[in-house]
């Protein structure tokens, strides 16, 4: 197996979770109800902040020099992403309630291989879906602010795709056995499923069947 083959398998194996994260219904989960720009931007800022904190924690104790350098670059990118989203809000403060389920899972990963698989493969695959849905949401609204926000998330999505590419390269260099590839598949896949399950739980809390998604 190689990293591109792993990505293809993940997209097939986790198709249900990825579809939910790229669905119209996902916006309701993200906004906690009817999708509106303010709650969606707030949730997006929280997501970028959570990613920044996850990679910051990894930088502190990562022994793999090359991986640590990539993690440091992601910290900078996620900080920039957060600030660009926050600029679209009148005010914003990070939620003190701790990380969501996906980032809680990622922060518990200790090996370089698991961190690369979860943080640089699984997490970006999730984010590419959620950014695509936010682009569609803002592109479908009228006005200069909506157009600017659609463009913003389009830029963030492209930059996240570049992180995924970097993660695929790192994974190819670090997976040397079938067991390594299986570990990578399990960690990345679980990160995706946790994110999908979190969205499903948010929908159930609103009385919505997660199976009734609009792709």
Cβ neighbour number for residue 187 with a 10 Å cutoff: 23
Percent share of the chain, pLDDT over 70: 98
DSSP tag of 22 = T
> Rounded to two decimals, what is the model's pTM?
0.94
Residues 114, 108 contacting (CB under 8 angstroms): no
Say which CATH architecture domain 3-205 belongs to: Up-down Bundle (1.20)
Average pLDDT over residues 71-97: 90
Model pLDDT, residue 98: 76
Domain ranges of the chain: 3-205
- Phi, psi (degrees; rounded to nearest 5) at 3: -65, -40
Whether the predicted pLDDT of 211 surpasses 80: no
Instruction: Write 65-70 long-range contacts (CB < 8 A, 24+).
Output: 66/170, 67/112, 67/115, 67/116, 67/170, 70/120, 70/166, 70/167, 70/170
pLDDT tens digit sequence for 108-140: 999 999 999 999 999 999 999 999 999 999 999
Question: Cα(145)–Cα(182) distance, rounded to whole angstroms?
Answer: 44
Residues 171, 64 contacting (CB under 8 angstroms): no
Q: Indicate the pLDDT class of residue 213, thresholds 50, 70 and 90.
A: low
Model pLDDT, residue 187: 98
Question: Cα(61)–Cα(57) distance, rounded to whole angstroms?
Answer: 7
Any residues with CB less than 8 A from the CB of 17 and at least 6 apart, and which? Answer: 192, 193, 195, 196, 197
DSSP tag of 214 = -
**End-to-end Cα spacing for the chain:** 30
Average pLDDT over residues 36-50: 94
Measured over the CA atoms of residue 175, residue 115, residue 75 and residue 58, the dihedral's sign is negative
Average pLDDT over residues 192-200: 95
Model pLDDT, residue 214: 45
- Phi, psi (degrees; rounded to nearest 5) at 147: -65, -40
């Amino acid at each position: 197996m190689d990293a591109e083959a792993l990505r293809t398998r993940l997209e097939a194996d986790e198709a249900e979770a990825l579809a939910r994260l790229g669905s119209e219904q996902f916006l309701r989960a993200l906004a906690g109800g009817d999708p509106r720009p303010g709650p969606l931007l707030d949730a997006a800022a929280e997501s970028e902040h959570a990613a920044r904190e996850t990679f910051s924690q990894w930088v502190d104790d990562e022994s793999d020099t090359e991986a640590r350098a990539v993690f440091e670059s992601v910290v900078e990118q996620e900080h920039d992403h957060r600030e660009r989203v926050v600029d679209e809000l009148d005010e914003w403060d990070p939620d003190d309630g701790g990380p969501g389920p996906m980032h809680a899972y990622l922060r518990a990963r200790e090996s370089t291989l698991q961190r690369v698989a979860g943080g640089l493969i699984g997490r970006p695959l999730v984010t590419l879906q959620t950014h695509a849905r936010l682009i569609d949401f803002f592109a479908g609204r009228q006005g200069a602010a909506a157009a600017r926000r659609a463009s913003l998330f389009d830029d963030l999505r492209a930059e996240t795709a570049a992180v995924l590419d970097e993660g695929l390269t790192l994974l190819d260099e670090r997976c040397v056995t079938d067991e390594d590839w299986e570990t990578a598949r399990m960690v990345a896949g679980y990160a995706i499923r946790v994110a999908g399950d979190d969205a499903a739980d948010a929908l159930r809390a609103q009385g919505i069947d997660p199976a009734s998604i609009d792709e």
